[in-house]
């Protein structure tokens, strides 16, 4: 396992969050796919990197902040329908991307 921080950011067309119980619906989430690699949803730990990627690659989408561990885990649950993995900071120069199974994070959430 590896360390990551909250808040984190995702790129999607729309995110709807409701409280009590916390539920998150994500429409048009960005999914990365490549030959021989599992589908993965990019998670950004820096808002400026997320905005730059959105501006360059997905101008019709928005950047959404996952503000707490609960919101992060709720978003992961919603993302499971689209991909099996997430990848942290996939396009950040000078940093190596880290991929993780969504189920692993949901079973061992950050504290």
- Domain boundaries of the chain, sorted by first residue: 8-107
pLDDT tens-digit readout, 67-103: 888 888 888 988 898 899 998 888 766 777 778 999 9
Q: How far, in whole angstroms, is CA 63 from its chain's centroid?
A: 10
| Residue 34: predicted pLDDT | 78
Q: How far is CA 111 from the centre of its chain?
A: 18
Q: At 103, give phi and psi (nearest 5°).
A: -60, -35
Number of H helices, E strands in the chain: 3, 8
Nearest to 11 by CA among 37, 44, 34, 40: 44
- Superfamily of structural domain 8-107: Uncharacterised protein PF11572, DUF3234 (3.40.1350.90)
pLDDT at residue 8 tops 70: yes
Q: Read off the pTM.
A: 0.82
């Amino acid at each position: 396992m590896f360390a990551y921080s909250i808040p984190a950011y995702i790129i999607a067309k729309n995110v709807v969050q409701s409280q009590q119980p916390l539920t998150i619906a994500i429409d048009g989430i960005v999914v990365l796919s490549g030959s021989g690699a599992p589908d993965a949803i990019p998670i950004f730990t820096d808002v400026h990197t997320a905005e730059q990627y959105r501006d360059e690659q997905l101008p019709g989408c928005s950047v959404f902040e996952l503000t707490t561990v609960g919101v992060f885990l709720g978003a992961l649950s919603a993302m499971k329908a689209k991909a099996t993995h997430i990848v942290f900071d996939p396009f950040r120069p000078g940093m190596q991307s880290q991929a993780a199974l969504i189920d692993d994070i949901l079973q061992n959430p950050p504290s």
